[in-house]
Amino acid sequence: MGADGKIYTLEDVSKHNNNKDCWLIIKGKVYDVTKFLEDHPGGDEVLLSATGKDATDDFEDVGHSTSAIMMMDEHYIGEIDTSTIPTRTKYTPPKQPLYNQDKTAEFIIKLLQFLVPLAILGLAVAIRFYTKSA
Ligand code: HEM
């Protein structure tokens, strides 16, 4: 099943994803847990569902005991090529859109929105004033 220290890709590992042949990735290391499936106190299903991906978080979430961690050595077969594992999705706040640094156009529009009705009003008053006095 591959010599110790061999480097596998995520694709290699994900091919071993059944109860006759099951590999896992935990903390950058690849484990062949096929023979362990029946003996795993957490059951075979969790192990099977953790193949083909980095199972580090799943493994740690359970809070495995030190004796469990020591048992892992027996199943170690190699390392994972970390570049083949998708990086953890970190929350990055969306970038603020670059605001238009030049506010002149915006300012002129605002000014017009204010001045045009005022001008119309002024014109109406002026016309009325003019027609009255004529
Ligand atoms: C080579 C890898 C693994 C080994 C040697 C291992 C070993 C063990 C051992 C010895 C236990 C008994 C409790 C303890 O001593 O902590 C255990 C429980 C458990 N393990 Fe693992 N485990 C491995 C991988 C995983 C993975 C990848 C998962 C999750 C996807 C997992 C899920 C669980 C669960 C759910 C339990 C039951 C916890 C409970 O009943 O409280 N294990 N495992």
Q: What is the pLDDT of residues 87-124, one digit of tens each?
A: 767 778 888 777 667 888 889 999 999 999 999 999 99
Name which residue sits closest to atom 31 of ligand 1, judged by CA: 59
CA distance 48 to 110: 63
ipTM of the complex: 0.94
Q: What is the pLDDT of residues 24-60, one digit of tens each?
A: 999 999 999 999 999 999 999 999 999 989 999 999 9
- For residue 66, report the distance from its CA to the centre of ligand 1, in Å: 11
Verify whether ligand 1 is closer than 6 Å to residue 64 (CB atom): yes
Name which residue sits closest to atom 6 of ligand 1, judged by CA: 68
Per-residue confidence (pLDDT) for residue 100, from 0 to 100: 63
- In 3D, which of 52, 54, 5, 51 has the Cα closest to residue 28? 54
- Taking the C-alpha atoms of 123, 124, 128 and 130 in order, what is their torsion angle to the nearest 10 degrees? 10
**Exposed, middle or buried, 25 (CB in 10 Å: 0-12/13-18/19+)?**
buried
Tokens 């998708």 correspond to what residue? 86
Per-residue confidence (pLDDT) for residue 97, from 0 to 100: 74
Per-residue confidence (pLDDT) for residue 2, from 0 to 100: 44
Which residues, in sequence order, are CB contacts of 31 under 8 Å at separation 6+?
23, 24, 25, 72, 75, 76, 77
Which of 25, 37, 38, 40 best tests ligand 1's pocket when mutated (most atoms within 8 Å of CB)?
A: 40
Verify whether ligand 1 is closer than 6 Å to residue 94 (CB atom): no
Which residues, in sequence order, are CB contacts of 11 under 8 Å at separation 6+?
84
